[in-house]
């Protein structure tokens, strides 16, 4: 099988786990945790396929991702419920970063297969990466990571651009361009997590008239 398949499985599983971890932190019941895990795993790709008009949604055609999301969520709930392991708070961010990087690469490839232009391909990569996490955070009543000042969507954009440039302008085989883009996204996101890299806050020097 293609390495893309295994990357997809990895991204789906870690995003599902990140959803369950957030559900546990916000004290949801098992059904809520399962829903949050599954939506986190397949949400971004679902939105992407709707926008690209790719026919039936990917997990409707092939339910592998849906099954992986359910299984990963289920075993995560069991692990959290019946072990005394206290996961560090940053574990959620690391798992999210892995899923983010993988899904950006997959999203760009799906867009390339749909024969869209380079800008749209990068946008679809970003949407695939952040979409599930945005839905997860909104349902858990958290401020979505993509709207915070730490580097999140920026990592997706840079990784997606590197992916496209390597493929289109430097004629790198798609599989290597994909790995390059995923690595760039992951490295930037991990640097932001551990070094607390942030974008400047948008604010007017004289303030904004609210009247």
Report residue 1's pLDDT band, with 50, 70 and 90 as the boundaries.
very low
Q: Which of 146, 150, 147 is nearest to 191 (CA)?
A: 150
Q: Is residue 154 part of a domain?
A: yes
Q: Which of 128, 125, 127, 118 is nearest to 178 (CA)?
A: 125
Q: Is residue 130 part of a domain?
A: yes
Q: Is residue 200 part of a domain?
A: no
Q: Which of 160, 115, 107, 109 is nearest to 131 (CA)?
A: 107
Report residue 2's pLDDT band, with 50, 70 and 90 as the boundaries.
confident
Q: 125: burial class by Cβ within 10 Å (0-12, 13-18, 19+)?
A: buried
Mapped onto helix, strand or coil, the DSSP state of residue 150 is: strand
Give the tokens for residue 105.
């690469």
Whether the model clears a pTM of 0.85, i.e. scores above it, the answer is: yes
Q: Is residue 57 part of a domain?
A: yes
Domain that holds residue 109: 3-195
Q: Is residue 191 part of a domain?
A: yes
Number of domains in the chain: 1
Q: Is residue 25 part of a domain?
A: yes
DSSP 8-state assignment for residue 198: B
* DSSP string computed for 56-95: S-HHHH-THHHHHHHHHHHHHHHHHHH------THHHHHH
Mapped onto helix, strand or coil, the DSSP state of residue 145 is: helix
- pLDDT 10s digits, 105-162: 999 999 999 999 999 999 999 999 999 989 999 999 988 878 875 789 999 999 999 9
Q: Is residue 210 part of a domain?
A: no
The set of residues, in sequence order, having a beta carbon less than 8 Å from that of 89 and lying 6+ positions away, is none
First to last CA, the chain: 60
> What percentage of the chain exceeds 90 in pLDDT?
69
CA distance 178 to 162: 9
| In the predicted structure, residue 26 carries a pLDDT above the cut 80 | yes
CA distance 12 to 109: 16
Q: Is residue 201 part of a domain?
A: no
Residues 1-20 have a mean pLDDT of 86
């Amino acid at each position: 099988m293609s390495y893309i398949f295994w990357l997809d499985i990895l991204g789906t599983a870690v995003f599902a786990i990140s959803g369950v971890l957030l559900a546990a932190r916000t004290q949801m019941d098992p059904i809520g945790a399962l829903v949050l895990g599954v939506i986190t795993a397949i949400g971004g790709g679902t939105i992407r396929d709707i926008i690209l008009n790719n026919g039936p949604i990917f997990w409707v055609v092939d339910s592998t991702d849906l099954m992986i999301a359910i299984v990963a969520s289920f075993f995560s709930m069991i692990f959290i419920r019946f072990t005394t392991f206290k996961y560090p708070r940053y574990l959620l961010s690391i798992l999210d970063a892995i899923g983010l990087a993988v899904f950006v690469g997959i999203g760009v490839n799906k867009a390339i297969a749909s024969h869209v232009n380079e800008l749209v391909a990068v946008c679809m990569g970003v949407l695939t990466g952040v979409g599930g996490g945005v839905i997860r955070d909104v349902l858990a009543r958290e401020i979505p990571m993509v709207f915070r000042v730490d580097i999140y969507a920026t990592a997706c954009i840079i990784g997606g651009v590197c992916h496209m440039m390597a493929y289109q302008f430097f004629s790198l085989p798609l599989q290597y361009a994909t790995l390059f883009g995923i690595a760039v996204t992951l490295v930037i996101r991990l640097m932001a997590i551990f070094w607390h890299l942030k974008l400047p806050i948008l604010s007017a020097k004289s303030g904004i008239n609210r009247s």
